[in-house]
Amino acid sequence: MAQENSEFQFGGIHHLALVSSDMQRTVDFYSGVLGMPLVKTIELPRGMGQHFFFDCGGGDTIAFFWFPDAPDGVPGVSAPAALPGEGEIVSAVGSMNHVAFTVPPGEFERYYVRMQEKGVDVSPILDHDDSPAGSSRVLHPGVYVRSFYFRDPDGAMLEFACWLRAFTPADVAHPARTGAERAGV
């Protein structure tokens, strides 16, 4: 999958920081349900809150802030209102739409069942392809990634995903859209 970056040498995502309404509940979900080790905790100065880091594999972390005065999230604005395949997935500009965790292709279906056994409400499996619909409910040779989606306790959309093939130059075939093309702009 890797292509060379001629500008900077990146090693992946150091961390992605989200906001939690209840840090204990976040620890229970990310460490207890997903099994991610809690690797660093910080009490922010002047009573601003907390910042906790979980190891999500490959040397990367997912982090959470807890702020005592943070406003509640708004479905459809701060995060999608529904899971893919189940409804509207649009979220606001500048929001985090979802976080996808890489899982091994050979474990993908077992992880899907395991999440359900843990009581997590998961979307149907989506086999992403280049069809007009963008995905199929059937695995076929044109599928480039398999995934399923679920939410954390604060409603952040998460995904387990596995690549099934390497990309080629033919996979970059669409012109980038502009802000002027957005509805209502």
Q: Torsion angle, CA of 107/157/21/43, rounded to 10 degrees?
A: 60
**CATH topology match: 1-70 vs 72-167:** no
Enumerate the domain spans of the chain. Answer: 1-70, 72-167
**Buried residues in 144-175 as b, exposed as e (16+ CB within 10 A):** ebbbbbbbbebebbbbbbbebeeeeeeeeeee
pLDDT at 1: 58
Strand partners, 9: none
pLDDT at 21: 97
Q: Which residues contact 122 (CB under 8 A, 6 or more apart)?
A: 112, 115, 116, 148, 149, 150
Selected residue with higher pLDDT from 153 and 185: 153
Tell me how crowded residue 2 is: count the other CB atoms within 10 A of its CB: 6
- CATH topology (fold) of 1-70: 2,3-Dihydroxybiphenyl 1,2-Dioxygenase; domain 1 (3.10.180)
Amino acid at the residue 137: R
CA–CA dist 2, 177 (Å, integer) = 24
Per-residue pLDDT reduced to its tens digit, 27-82 = 999 999 999 999 999 999 999 999 999 999 999 999 999 999 999 999 999 999 99
pLDDT at 37: 97
Per-residue pLDDT reduced to its tens digit, 79-127 = 999 999 888 999 999 899 999 999 999 999 999 999 999 999 999 999 9
pLDDT at 4: 82
CATH for 72-167, among 3.40.50.1820, 1.10.540.10, 3.30.720.110, 3.40.50.150? 3.30.720.110
